[in-house]
Structures are given as structure tokens and as C-alpha cells.
Structure 1
Amino acid sequence: MKPRILLVEDDANLVELVTYNLEKEGFDVATTGDGEEALVMAEENRPDLVILDWMIANLSGIEVCRRLRRSPATAALPIVMLTARAEEADRIRGLETGADDYVTKPFSPRELVARVRAVLRRLRPALSGGNLDYAGIVMDTAAHRVTRDGQGVALGPTEFRLLRHFLEHPGRVFSREQLLDAVWGRDVYVEQRTVDVHIRRLRKAVNGDDLPDVIRTVRSAGYALDLEPQVKAA
């Protein structure tokens, strides 16, 4: 599946240029020039990364960034700010608001694509075809292979997707509803108790008979991939 990019920019020529270069590099791009619409799009069809202009209609890019970071559903969403504001104070403000990178205009489309790939490698390594690992669990996303402490782990397709989502966000608590959206998709009707069934299967496969349980149940909150005594909410 192609990584999804939400491009929030109101310059039609720039939208065409950036969209062309991203699609040429294998990304699926959705666009809007409206800050309020960007928030709705990010919630309803969560992208893998947002490219966000500072000066857009209705809400500024800074305010969109702030609201995305406040919402549990989009708090971990990678954000690249794209703006003509090149002053150091503006860059610092953008990064402190929650942007993961800051690209100033004018820019090279090749540089923007490289920055997008760098952010995805750092924050969403599964999208770059790399390995994911945590607490001795290693997932080769390209070969679709999982090991724990060097021993192979047999997983069904759903358990694989579930583990991949956890490995992309270690330590974060996800509710059953959030897991349904991320693993099964918003357009598929599945009862929430189905999550519990697949969590049990994943536990059995990953933990075996005597290994520490890496999947924590957080009462009234959900599940997390975490060996630590304290878990932060997503």
C-alpha cells in the first residue's frame, strides 16, 4: 500500500508541482488549501504524513499543527511544515508547536521528497521497508517475517498488522476503537471484542510459554506494546 500524504497548501501551482513529484516517487496524495478541512481529512482518513503550509485559509498551519498534536487520533502523525517564513524564530515556533521538520520556500521538490522520506524513516520505519524492533522482537516488514530473541514467530495476517502497528508506536496505549481503525480500517465493521481475540492470539505467538509479556492491558484504556511499569496514553 502506498504511503498517504496530506498536502495542505493553497497555492494551486505549488500543489500541482508537489503532488506530481510525490506521486512520481510512489506516494498517494490528498490535497486541501483549507485548515479546517485539513483537520477533518486527517481525522477521517488518517494519512501517514502531513505537509502543512503556514499561511492557509480559515486556520493557520501553526494552529492546524497544534490541534493535530492535541487530538489522540493524530498526536503521533508526522508533520512537515512548508512555508516562506524563514526566520529562525519562526522555525523554532513551528518545531516547538509539534512539526517534525521545517522546509522553507523556495525549495527543491527533490529536497522535499527527501525530507518526507527521512521523517517517515525516523517516525514510521515500516513505510520505508525497514526492520522494526522492540524488546527482542524484530519484524522484517519487507520479508513479512518476525522473530523474538532470534526464534521465528508464526503470525496470521491480522496479528502481523496488529504487531506492526504496536512496533511503530511502542509504549503508547491504543483503545480497541483506535486499533480497529488502524488495523482493520474505518470502512470495515468489526466488533470491538474481536480486538481482544486477536490480542490473545498475538500474545500466545509472541510470548510463547515463558517469555515476559510485552503486550500490556491498561484497564479502561486499551493495549500497549510495553515492558515498562508506566504507559503513556496515545
Structure 2
Amino acid sequence: MTPCLRHETPEPAPEPAARLVDTGALQRVGGRLGSNPAGIYRDPAGRRYYVKELESPAHARNEWLAAQLYLLAGAPTLHYRRTRAADQIATDFVVLDKKLISQLDEAERRQAQHWLGVHAWTANWDAAGYGGDNQGVLGGTVLTLDVGGALEFRAQGSPKGRAFGTEVGELDRLRQDPDNPHARRLFGDIGDTALRESVTVVTRIPDCDIRACVLAHGGSVALAEKMVARKAELARRLGA
């Protein structure tokens, strides 16, 4: 059992209202870049944000929580921010050096593969993106650009239901599913050692930190226990 020591957990305190992104007070300067209704907004100081309009507050909460679990695991993503509107989610807008999986060189592909265990743990079926556009590079770091397809909802918003359970079939499907060709292309040739290392990224997280992260960021006790169980399933499968 992983000892319950202090870990690099996300800050559990709610965002102060003054730090919430308020699109009503910002200038819209660009349109959407993905499949969800969204736009690029700029504040008076010139800072830009990419703001997604989601189906419900539950969808926004789900994506925020997924981002915090990625942060807990150390997996790089864009910098997420909460919004005043409960059905929106924002990220800091950045100009990527690369924004397609097809543009990654071999070292960048291996870097992306290191986070396969995190994608599987969080059930991020959209880790590679429908068009191979959910992994990008900024300053030499490979980032997951959108985690809206993780946890309880698909990338397009429909609930996963029983497909998001305590078994972690994503560890195989992200490597092998012909219906997810970009994920298969990115993760399909991961070696045994690299696969084990990617799983260890998750299994080394103390259970108490997983529970604390989920509960601090709007998740239920049931979801917290499911994420602990999914971690245990990953450990069982690979003997990690």
C-alpha cells in the first residue's frame, strides 16, 4: 500500500471570486478552436484565455476536476482556470510550438507516452484527440490540451455511464482500438518498461491524496473511491 505522505496536491481551497475568469467583463477576440462552443477572450491587462461553454455546470466541474487529477499526477496540461459562469471552463491561451500529434518528433512521442497511465486512470478517451489535436508542445514540454473527455463525460458531452467503472480497459484501448486511430498511433508502440513507468506515475500517488483532491474540487465520495479503485486496478494489472 502506498503510504499516506504529503504529496504535490492541488490547492484545495476554492478559487477566490476575484480570481474567477468573468467573460462578461472581457473582450472576445477569437473563435473556437475545438468542437465545443468556445472563444478567445482578452482582459484589460492583455492576458488571453480560451473559454469553453459546456452543456452544464456538471460538465465544467468534471473537466476542472480532471485537470486537478492531472496536476496531482504531474501530467502537463494547459493552465486551467475556473469561471464565474458555472457552465464554463477556461485555460490560459498560449501559442503552441506544435499542436498536432503528427508534428511530434520521436523524443516528443516518448514524452507523451509517459502519461499514458494518467490518461487510462482518468478514462480520458480523447487523450489523443479526434483529429490528433489534443497533444501539443510548448517550450519543449508535451501537453494535454483538453481534458474534457476524462472521467464521467465523453469529449462531446454525453455521459459514459457504466463504461466509466473500476476496470481500466483504457490502458489497452488507447494502444489498440482501431476506432481511436490517433491514440493507437501515439501509444501503440510503447515498450513494456515505458508502459510500466507510466502506470507507476499513478500508483505512487497516496490514496488519501486522491480522495482529498476529488473531494476538494467538487467530486463525490463515490467518485473518489472509484479513482482509488482504478489506481488499484492499474497496480494489479501490471504488478506495480
TM-score by length of 2: 0.28
Q: Which one has a bigger Cα radius of gyration?
A: 1
Higher relative contact order (CA 8 A, sep 6+): 2
Give the TM-score taking structure 1 as reference length. Answer: 0.28
Q: Which one has a larger percent strand, Structure 1 or Structure 2? A: 1
